[in-house]
Amino acid sequence: MTEPLPLIRRAWPDQAKGFGILLVVIGHAWRGLQAAGLLPEGALFQTIDRLIYAFHMPLFFFLSGLFFESTLRRAPLAFLRMRWSQILWPLMLWTWIFFAFKGVAGSLANHPADWQSFPFWPFPPREQFWFFWALFLIQGAAYLALAPLARRGLLSPARLGLAWLCASALVLLPFGPWFPAEWVGPACRYAGHFCLGLLAARWLLSPHRGPGVGLALGLFLASEALALALPATPLGDMLPAIGALAGVVLVFRALEGRRGGGAGAGLARAPRPGFGGDLCRPCALFGGAAHPAGEMRGGVGAAAHGARHGDRCDRAAGACGGAGALRVDGAFRPARPCPEIPPVLTPA
């Protein structure tokens, strides 16, 4: 029998997520400059683009899996209600808002869209909203496979390791008419990273000491160098992504014990936002601040995923969701009321 994860507050997941969100903003602005013709597509552009996109999305899926174990113990109807309110409905809502802004912006957008192409049925997902659908498919598959084991206390590291290997192998599946990439491609690509977070949760969220900052930073830099040396393919990206995200996570975990949470403490703090609700959900799905009783809370903004490729109307659409607090997916629910803690900065 396996015991549930202890419900304690850890600051480093917020800091790691904040770092990833910063990279989302930089990466989208970087590609936006190139799409607008303000930056040549030369070696400098390709190198920085590769360094960012080699690991920042795997990092978010990893952090989502890190806090998913408690969700596996939910009843099926409760699980489906959470997936609807936190993933499917935001996918639909934000697709409509995004394309409405594109229609209003017209030729001012980098990638114009007219009203005739408005996606009243937003499936398969369009533009940056692929991550909603990918997360829904990954979590749904993980729930079907692992929830019976979790409810019986049989979610052992060996079984989680097997789930990780099976999920990682999905990048090898061929796509075709009966297995269309636009529906399942991103989910297959990132399922392994999600399951790796689920596998690593018990060690990473425990009080055991890990590698020091120097060793973790060395792992990150070596993985980024490997990403530059390998071709950008789903299979070729896997090892550098795992190494880089592990380096980021271990750096912030090592810094957590220092005064004020270390150099990354500012990435985990933000003032209480002025309004909440569904508008913040596109930006908080991948993680949040762990409450003292184990609850996860999301935070501020949708700017990064709403600013894809520097689109003027995309940025406006992202700004609409500029604030809000949200109990995010895979959340631990507190056993008793606990003090309010400022939400993590999440403009992704």
Rounded average pLDDT over 175-192 = 92
Q: Which residue has the higher pLDDT, 279 or 225?
A: 225
Measure the CA–CA gap between 5 and 220, rounded to whole angstroms: 27
26-30, 67-71, 316-320, range with the lowest pLDDT: 316-320
Measure the CA–CA gap between 222 and 145, rounded to whole angstroms: 34
- Residues 17-36 have pLDDT tens digits of 999 999 999 999 999 999 88
Tokens of residue 289, six digits: 């601040």
Per-residue confidence (pLDDT) for residue 296, from 0 to 100: 36
Rounded average pLDDT over 254-266 = 63
C-beta of residue 312 within 8 angstroms of C-beta of residue 111: no
Q: Which residue has the tokens 């995010």?
A: 328
Rounded average pLDDT over 254-281 = 50
Q: In b/e form, how buried is each residue of 71-80, taking b as 16+ CB within 10 angstroms?
A: bbebeeeebe
In this structure, the strands spanning 289-290 and 296-297 are: antiparallel
Q: In b/e form, how buried is each residue of 101-113, taking b as 16+ CB within 10 angstroms?
A: bbbebeeebbeeb
Q: What is the pTM of this model?
A: 0.76
